[in-house]
Amino acid sequence: MWKFPRTGRTLRALIPAAPLALTVGVLPAYGVAPATPASAPLKCSTADGPYQRQVEELLGLEVDGSQSPADCLAIQRYQESQLIVPADGSAGPITYTALYWEWAQNYPEQLRGCPERKGRVACVDLGHQIMWVALDGKVAFTPVAIRSGRAELPTRTGWFRVERRKEDDWSTLYNSPMTFSQYFSGGQAIHGVYNNLYEGVGSHGCVNLRYADAKRLWTALQQGDAVYVWGRKPGG
């Protein structure tokens, strides 16, 4: 059984099935622009979210797949702590992937989906919106949250390599900064952003990281390293 410190309630894990103890607390949404203060809290959603059971499980709530007023308030508090927009208490894909990232930071050895191979591999899991670096099949750079391409401009999947790197780049196409850019497929790169990862529908195809994470990743990868991208961004 897990204990999630936000609620102190017992958490039975969906991922993985084995009993574990989750110790991470509320993690700051560092490297992001401050959210614009709302004039009043958003009204809580009464509808069941597409990830209702998973979010209930990870927050240590009663797992019945049905949204209750207590569920909504707990989810809303978590969303506000992570600058998830909108913070309406709905168990949506961004809330689920944010919670999954927190779990993954504690149990990187139980991550799945990235094939084992010799050398460094940047593993980009679109389905859970996280990435990490494996060295000879073992996690060498712990998972960080990402924001991948939106439905109409998806991040390409498959095997790639870090083709080129530029520490301080600028997108002339989208008129925006691209810090610590590591290009792996044409114009698609893993790079840092200054804005909130948990706001908006997705990138223009790049793999966005918080600035601090992109800076750390810059020293963890080199030109020529393998990149493996798989899955599909939740919610399109």
Q: What is the pLDDT of residues 21-72, one digit of tens each?
A: 333 333 333 334 444 444 467 899 999 999 999 999 999 999 999 999 999 9
Residue 163: the pLDDT is 98
Type of residue numbered 89: G
* Residue 95 phi, psi (nearest 5): -60, -45
Instruction: Record the tokens describing residue 175, joined without a space.
Output: 């008129």
pLDDT per residue of the chain (236 residues) written in tens, 0 to 9: 343 444 443 333 333 333 233 333 333 333 344 444 444 678 999 999 999 999 999 999 999 999 999 999 999 999 999 999 999 999 999 999 999 999 999 999 999 999 999 999 999 999 999 999 999 999 999 999 999 999 999 999 999 999 999 999 998 888 889 999 999 999 999 999 999 999 989 999 999 999 999 999 999 999 999 999 999 999 87
| CA–CA distance, 13 with 88 (Å, rounded to integer) | 24
Residue 172: the pLDDT is 86
Residue 78 near residue 6, CB atoms below 8 Å? yes
Residue 113: the pLDDT is 97
Report the Cα–Cα distance between both ends of the chain, in Å, rounded: 32
Instruction: Record the tokens describing residue 8, joined without a space.
Output: 């102190």
Please enumerate in sequence order all residues whose Cβ is within 8 A of that of 133, keeping only pairs 6 or more positions apart, or say none. 120, 121, 122, 123, 139, 140, 141, 217, 220, 221
- Rounded to two decimals, the pTM is 0.83
As a 3-state breakdown, the chain gives helix, strand, coil percent values, each rounded to 5, of 20, 25, 55
Residue 9: the pLDDT is 37
CA distances from 31 to 139, 145, 198 (A): 23, 12, 12
